[in-house]
Structure 1
């Protein structure tokens, strides 16, 4: 019941009764209207079950569906094959449609999906996105079981499951392929388990006149903001949800050294000199941080070159993983020895590095509050300590504002370094994540003509933004001679942003997920940046007609391999890498006939080629229509999920009885571990980004204070409520004035 003090029985003087009667008649419609608005928006008392609640149409609140996930990964040499099984459990007495936003690796090639309902297994088809959505909606309306998997970002996906019967559990099983990363002699597998809340810059209120003639500068930077904005639970008010079990079968292809996880406690079982079985030591864990597994080769068996091949139909696909040499590379015959101060390969005598201009950029927005901010500041302070008097540097910090410590890089002397340390130590996390302006400022080169110095941009962030395309376009347009290195901070960084930004910036990326990783990973990163082994790197196949990616190779750093995926007519000839070492020509050739069989390499190549087409679209090298046509053709040929294709599974037989309503729900996510809920959502409440709801996914109603599911706040205020309250107060004032006059 909504309290109605104005309608309570009140004793009043006889002269006041006419006023009370008028007051009662006037306020009744207003109070009833206010109660109707609150009810329509789910602001009502809810059962004290401690569960997230949904509000079906014309019915009492019910408990939301439950979700549990199992991830099984098989690593075979340079590639990993994963099966993700999501179990949707409908604990209510209603027929339910559940929608769940979840992450996958940014370089995953998603190629299959199955829907399991009772004894029935329905295999999904890959279709154009709009067609898949139409088929799913038709099945949902007709009462048939259906599942739809859509890509929102290369690392963010949405599963929708329709017509889950009361008390029923259905399974959605997704498989994907991804390459294993190798850096500094350490192989790494990262499995993202939670989508972090993202800051979505608001569209401009009014586009400038110069932008009116077809320019996209005034468009919404995040047009799909509703689809990447699922509800998030406050960890202080709700126990974690979405438990995950995970197992990895590791077949490295070489004798193993250390195998460990820096993110989770794991149990490792040795199944052979080259293989291990890894499981979570504590059993299922909350989906609130990414899982990472790393392994190294036994010291005397560390590989330096790996070639893998796979035949699919009439085509051969190849993956080349080339690591820089560990020892000195002799210059070509007749070459002049490198001058003093030139970049030399590791192990070369009297090796010295080129002086550097380094721009450090640190994200101090609200999403970095807590552990992430401590990690970022510690990493930057360690990086400052590694600068030498020959280097120059500056520091930029940003939230929804930005500040540059020095207008341009200054010498790394004691006075400037002390000032920078005080600046960094005083940073606090607050505000939104307006990344575009500081990125452009960091890439702006005041001396583009200067030679003899290496220009590097070190960007520390969790990457929790929705306008990635703006960032990528800015990097491609303003990179110049700079090299961009992305340092992902926190338990669930945006891998898509980190990886692709580094690729476009011809640098590399790394992740610091815990405070105890700061020293090790910062030291490894900056040791690598201080000694590039090969610059101006290029690749050439001796045989014609080979389609290889990436088109633009990064510089080759110590311990950092170059990975090239290629489609060949036949396996023959050589692959030659060329570049410069210490200003002198350098090259290394590989015989393609030495390639060993591998699995999933064709899909890895197709996924990389799709990424290259997306980059060409963003940077203007390909018209949007041409890029989309290439992406769609590759996706349909190789059966892959993309921005333009979806996986849809539809049962043939209707199961929901005619006339029975279907309740829709966005399943909530956990807040990433280490994040500060109040810092994130308190600041984002002021961001000018009105919330849109995706079709057939109403917002969950308010639950008890101890278990409330929170939607990402935006700027929209409760205007209807304010209107009703304002009218009520106005009416009260007018009637009180009239009553006073009548009494007189």
Structure 2
């Protein structure tokens, strides 16, 4: 018994000493190190570094992207690197590769819990492993286990997405940074037990909040991190007109039907990358069909642009409800853009229209008790209200949405009811928004205007889809008039409504299942699966007061690639939308998504990619610390408005001043942080706390047993 006690004490002492050696003191570091406070006073974890290369090939209507992430461990100990990063909300992610020297390990798609277990087992065994998980359709987490001291690991991720077309302009948007999310606090909800007794349960609107709250750097105290390189190979299949990058300086070279675009200057991951291009006159086809054969199935991407409707002699009056976000994340250029956009919208109202303005942060306010006529007096009052807005507080978006959907005259067909949201969408409770909109949208059409350098594209596009509207992004002040003019061209012109698709064969499966309303300049994009691409698709709808129809021959197509995965990705979205609309239960949606994702090798809400290197790496007994990769604050954001003003810190030693110590906060709760700034607590893997507690309990039990035995011997 004594020998066991001595062995346990020795093991614990060795583990504690080894774990402490993986932490550092600022005075021990050189210039340029980025440190996180650990749970041990005076000791820090050195952050891993990541740089990302984006190699994008656009072929026709599909873009294929390969991201190469290089993880560098600058520390002297072993680390698990954790990187939260964004991807397009409609990305079909199908490939994960881990490159270790000259070895390449290809990831497998697994059910999410199984993938996590495989990864944790490999991590514990000291093997190098990578796990790619979806937190939201546009937020992913990459975990890399057992990166050795001063070692670099390369991770490659591949996905594809459809190209967007609107008003004759093709566009591709690649998000580069996850903006801090505001997550409403958990609440107590009254429930009843099986015996009928009343009880309270905790209801959390964002149960996975810890997974979407990476550490964020204060740009005033830290230089930017996470450098990026972007190369786009543009081959749209027609003569290219103008090519523009909205938010980055680029260099373009090439021929009439092919261009290579690269960044002109070194850049960091702090804003979206958006590329737009046009076709030379008469080059873009009105109907295009791309086809791909995979195993026994055929897939097609069909894109058709309905004819533009003639403006009505007298348009139907509108009841426009404008909702503007003035929370802390909107501070700075975003607030100016939102206010300018709303003023532009108010000035476009006609005398016969009705309107109201709702502003929100962690509170909500209506300008008028209900929608009022668009008189000059009312518009001027609303303009003055908007001009006085300031950005501060949290982002409680649910109640403003409920108020905007509150239709006082649901049976009044003499008005078009339109809800226009101006926001960056920086929230974590997206599903609550979708569920509310799905059940209470009524006759309203919801139009989302994404504001700022890194809006939440997932929230914007899903809200527009469920709300039968559209999504417009305004990334800088110079785009306000152009983008709002495009939006109002849609609001003021008849949509193509009552869209239906019919197939000549029962084996043809088109998606989306719910066809959207179309607005001027917007094409209809369908993805199709069939045993054979034969026969036709019939598309019909209503434009104004007349019927429009088109027949598309599926066998008249050009070869494409990646269409099958896009079809599966869109079918997954269909299941999610059906769940929000109350058409299927959660379990049925999960089963459908799991089947599609496993069959087509896609990351989803219920599946992940995992890669494990079989070569031993970290030896047993060597400690492993978790290190989260810090993110930049999105360009134009105000750190204090998001996280709360910081208390002045005492003077530091000269050697510490040469070191960049990150100001890291619990990201997405601006209102809470404003009241009480909160340092992020690093995961307990930095110290063996759980092992120490368990072993401590064992030692206490052992000591009690020895004491009891000694007493028995004494009595005897």
TM-score (norm 2): 0.86
Does 1:478 pair with 2:440? yes
- Shift of residue 134 of structure 1? 0.8
Q: Please list, as runs of the form range in 1=range in 2, the aligned pairs for 1:320-719 lying within 5 A after superposition.
A: 320-326=302-308, 345-346=309-310, 351-682=313-644, 707-712=661-666
Question: Cα distance, 1:50 vs. partner?
Answer: 4.2
For residue 281 of structure 2, what is the aligned residue in structure 1?
299
Helix, strand or coil: the match of 1:556?
coil
Quickly say closer, same or farther: Cα 1:255–1:286, change in 2 above 3 A: same
Kept after mapping to 2: 8 A contact 1:211/1:217: no
CA distance in structure 1 between the partners assigned to 2:418 and 2:631 by the alignment: 36
Q: Does 1:123 align with 2:91?
A: no
C-alpha contact (below 8 Å) 2:321/2:358 kept by paired residues: yes
Judge conservation of contact 1:52–1:703 (CA < 8 Å) in 2.
no
Inter-partner Cα distance in structure 2 for 1:634 and 1:578:
29
Q: Distance in 2 between matches of 1:683 and 1:451?
A: 49
Q: Which residue number in structure 2 is paired with residue 336 of structure 1?
A: none
1:316 aligns to what?
298
- Contact 1:536–1:580 (CA under 8 A) maintained in structure 2: yes
* SS of residue matched to 1:394: strand
Whole-angstrom CA distance in 2 between matches of 1:184 and 1:351: 22
Deviations 1:412-445 (A, max 9, x none): 1111111111111111101100000000111111
SS in 2 for 1:301: coil
Query: Residues 209 and 147 (structure 1 numbering): CA distance in 2 closer, same or farther, change over 3 Å?
Result: closer
Alignment of 1:225-264 (within 5 A): 225-264=209-248
SS in 1 for 2:180: coil
Classify 1:595/1:352 alpha carbon distance in 2 versus 1 (closer, same or farther; 3 Å): farther
Alignment of 1:138-177 (within 5 A): 138-177=121-160
Alpha-carbon shift at residue 554 of structure 1 (Å): 1.9
1:540 deviation in Å? 1.7
| Structure 2 Cα separation of the partners of residues 563 and 352 of structure 1 | 30
Return 5+ residue gaps in structure 2 as ranges: 1-19, 648-655, 680-716
Distance change (3 Å), C-alpha of 1:378 and 1:480:
same
Distance in 1 between residues matched to 2:212 and 2:622, nearest whole Å: 30
Determine the C-alpha separation between the residues in 1 that align with 2:24 and 2:401: 42
Distance of aligned partners of 1:488 and 1:718 in 2 relative to their CA distance in 1, 3 Å threshold? closer
Q: In structure 2, which of residues 53, 57, 80 is the aligned counterpart of residue 70 of structure 1?
A: 53
SS at match of 1:557: coil
In 2, distance between residues paired with 1:541 and 1:275? 35
Q: CA deviation at 1:566?
A: 1.6
Q: Is the counterpart of residue 265 in structure 1 residue 219 in structure 2?
A: no
Give, in angstroms, the shift of residue 596 of structure 1: 1.7
Residues 643 and 677, structure 2, Cα contact 8 Å, conserved in 1: no
What secondary structure sits across from 1:208 in the alignment? strand
Q: Rate the CA distance shift 1:703–1:484 in 2: closer, same or farther, 3 A.
A: farther
Aligned residues: 642
> Mean alpha-carbon deviation: is it higher for 542-551 or for 133-142?
542-551
Tell me how far 1:594 sits from its aligned partner: 2.0
- Mapped contact 2:99–2:153 kept (Cα < 8 A): yes
Larger displacement relative to structure 2 (244-253 or 649-658) = 649-658
Shift of 1:274: 1.3
Q: Deviations over 1:365-405 (max 9, x none)?
A: 00000010000001111111111112111111100111111
Larger radius of gyration: 1
Report the RMSD for the aligned CA atoms in angstroms.
Answer: 2.6
Q: How far is 1:562 from its partner?
A: 1.4
Contact 1:703 1:709 in 2 (8 A): no
Partners in 2 of 1:391 and 1:542 — Cα distance?
A: 44
Seen in structure 2, the aligned counterparts of structure 1 residues 635 and 450 have a Cα distance that, compared at 3 Å, is same
Secondary structure of the residue that 1:521 maps to in structure 2? Answer: helix
Q: CA deviation at 1:510?
A: 1.1
* Residue in 2 that maps onto 1:53: 35
Report Cα offsets for 1:466-513 as digits up to 9, x if no partner.
000000001100111111111100000000000111000011101100
Structure 1 residue 55: deviation in Å?
6.3
Q: Is the Cα contact below 8 Å between 2:49 and 2:226 reproduced in 1?
A: yes
Q: Matched residues in 1 for 2:678 and 2:146: separation?
A: 35
**1: CA distance, partners of 2:412 / 2:677:** 56
The one-character-per-residue Cα deviations of 1:115-134 (angstroms, maximum 9, x if unpaired) are 00111110110101111111
What's the counterpart of residue 137 of structure 1?
120
Match of 1:186 among 147, 161, 169: 169
Write the distance in 2 (CA, Å) between the matches of 1:123 and 1:684.
Answer: 44
Deviations 1:333-355 (A, max 9, x none): xxxxxxxxxxxx13x6x644221
- Separation in 2 of the partners of 1:387 and 1:434? 28
Query: Are residue 106 (structure 1) and residue 68 (structure 2) matched?
Result: no
CA displacement 1:645-671 (0-9 Å, x = unmatched): 111110112111222111210110000
Q: Please give the per-residue CA displacement for 1:574-597, whole angstroms capped at 9, x wherever unaligned.
A: 222222222333222222222221
- The alpha-carbon distance between structure 1 residues 64 and 357, as it changes in their structure 2 partners (threshold 3 A), is same
1:300 deviation in Å? 2.4
In the alignment, the residues of structure 2 paired with residue 649 and residue 215 of structure 1 have an alpha-carbon distance, to the nearest angstrom, of 44
Go from structure 1 to structure 2 and tell me whether the alpha carbon gap of 1:67 and 1:215 turns closer, same or farther (over 3 Å shift).
Answer: farther
Listed as ranges, the gaps of 5+ residues in structure 1 are 1-38, 327-344, 686-701, 721-744
- Contact 1:199/1:684 (<8 A) preserved: no
Residue in 2 aligned with 1:19? none
Alpha-carbon distance change, 310 to 616 in structure 1, aligned in 2, over 3 angstroms: same
- Counterparts of 1:718 and 1:76 in 2: how far apart (Å)? 48
Structure 1 stretch displaced more, 272-281 or 529-538: 529-538
Tell me, yes or no, if the aligned pair for 1:237 and 1:705 is still in contact at 8 Å.
no
Is contact 1:51-1:703 (8 Å) kept? no
Deviation at residue 610 of structure 1 after TM alignment: 0.6
Within 2, Cα distance between the matches of 1:44 and 1:67?
A: 22
Q: Return the alpha-carbon distance in structure 2 between the equivalents of residues 189 and 150 of structure 1.
A: 23
Cα gap change, 1:684 to 1:406, in 2 (>3 Å) = farther
TM-score (norm 1): 0.83
Q: Secondary structure at the match of 2:291?
A: strand
Q: Counterpart of 1:135 in 2: which secondary structure?
A: helix
Aligned residue number for residue 713 of structure 2: none
Is the Cα contact below 8 Å between 1:211 and 1:218 reproduced in 2?
Answer: no
How far apart, in 2, do the equivalents of 1:166 and 1:316 lie? 49
SS in 1 for 2:203: coil
Secondary structure of 1:558's partner?
Answer: coil
Instruction: Tell me the CA shift for residue 96 of structure 1.
Output: 1.4
